[in-house]
Amino acid sequence: MTIVEKILAAHAGKKKVVPGDLINVRVDLVLSNDITAPIAIREFRRTGVKKVFDPAKVVMVPDHFVPNKDIMAAEQAKLMREFALEQRILYFEVGQMGIEHVLLPEQGLVLPGEVVIGADSHTCTYGALSAFSTGMGSTDIAAAMATGDIWMKVPPTIRFVYKGNLRDWVGGKDLILATIGRIGVDGALYSAMEFTGEAIDALPMDGRFTMANMAIEAGAKAGIFHFDKKTLAYVQTRSKRPYQVYESDPNAEYAQTIEFDASGIEPQVAFPHLPSNVRPISKVGNVRIDQSVIGSCTNGRMDDLLVAAEILRGRKVDPHVRCIVIPGTQQVYLEALSRGLIETFVQAGVAVSTPTCGPCLGGYMGVLAAGERSISTTNRNFVGRMGSPKSEVYLAGPAVAAASAILGRIAGPQEL
């Protein structure tokens, strides 16, 4: 079996599962946020169940419209907050919170070999920790809060092998954009993406979180990495409970194997209006921008801010560009502060935000007007994703986003 099949078999109480099997799976963590939790709470109430199956395994994170941007956002957050207090579940209030998919691994709430579900499509992020994690609808989340179980079909696994060494300024975002550009937004439909190869072995944890995060943009059910020394170093200072490591068998069956020469991958840019509309930075041309966003559950971690700061240090954001940096959590913000990154950003003319999903979904902290263009380290660039349906969003890693903010057009850091 593959890693995913082994995890699901263990959580289904079976010796073996194969793709296509319909199984009931015990979950280790159930997640929702200030958009999806209120729907799940209402459906939970309708079941008649009074208490969640295990308060230690249910977590709610207000991160999309919090701190509240308007009355409706405040009502959503209030409903979630009151339910969390009533049920005594895990809850992260403003001041302690962060963007959910940056926060949960940081807090040691997700560990290798676990099954995590969330009412957010980018829950697949936790595959970086060799866990099976996937997004589900709010009604599925309500049922899981009541029972601790989910019903699902075992996905086939596609193995992605990245050979060679990465170029300067190329990271996890570029690898996953290149991958989606090659296979398309439905290239891994209802499959697990298993990331391997020497370029993956060399990739830091923050880059792995980025890749797993965007597995959903290829239509995948999950993205997953092998457990190694880097995974161990990340979890051993955070884990508060035992965990089980699973590895794919040498004779595991894959739906297909797709190989990449990572040494040939440049920094990538996804043009509107699909994450698969990808071009290397050398073929972008002259694309002027109005805004640059560095943050989100895709690229709001410490490594991302370090890359951005390296490029912005001693330089100024173009006077016609708004550059917004959003640390993924309060802890990331604090570390960035202690290491002088916030000062670097402010001196460069950057607006630094409290942790929030904000502009990624066109919520706040960077909504676009008609005709405006933004380069962004977020994960989606659909029509109207960041504001007006007449605006445009271009996706890239923090190096390209920072360089573009300085030059006023989409550009790579090599130009600086």
pLDDT in tens, 355-374: 999 999 999 999 999 999 99
Give the confidence band of 56 by pLDDT, cuts at 50, 70, 90. Answer: very high
The residue extents of the domains of the chain are 3-260, 268-415
Domain 268-415 of CATH type 2.40.160.60: no
Residue 171: predicted pLDDT: 96
Residue 312: predicted pLDDT: 98
Mean pLDDT, residues 286-301: 97
Select from 222, 229, 165, 170 the least CA-distant residue to 191: 222
275-287 pLDDT tens trace: 999 999 999 999 9
124-149 pLDDT tens trace: 999 999 999 999 999 999 999 999 99
- The mean of the pLDDT values for the chain is 96
Phi-psi region of 95 (alpha: psi -120 to 50; beta: other; left: phi over 0): left
- The model's pTM is 0.95
Whether the CA torsion 219, 3, 210, 368 is positive or negative: it is positive
What is d(CA 392, CA 91) in angstroms, rounded to the nearest whole number?
Answer: 35
Select from 296, 361, 362, 292 the least CA-distant residue to 323: 292
Mean pLDDT, residues 344-356: 97
Residue 143: predicted pLDDT: 96
Tokens of 379: 């994960």
In this predicted structure, which of 173-182, 223-232, 357-366 has the lowest mean pLDDT?
A: 357-366
Give the confidence band of 393 by pLDDT, cuts at 50, 70, 90. Answer: very high
Select from 68, 46, 140, 63 the least CA-distant residue to 98: 63
Give the confidence band of 260 by pLDDT, cuts at 50, 70, 90. Answer: very high
Answer yes or no: are the C-beta atoms of 205 and 231 closer than 8 Å. Answer: yes
CATH topology agreement for domains 3-260 and 268-415? yes
Give the confidence band of 50 by pLDDT, cuts at 50, 70, 90. Answer: very high
The CATH class, in words, for 3-260 is: alpha beta
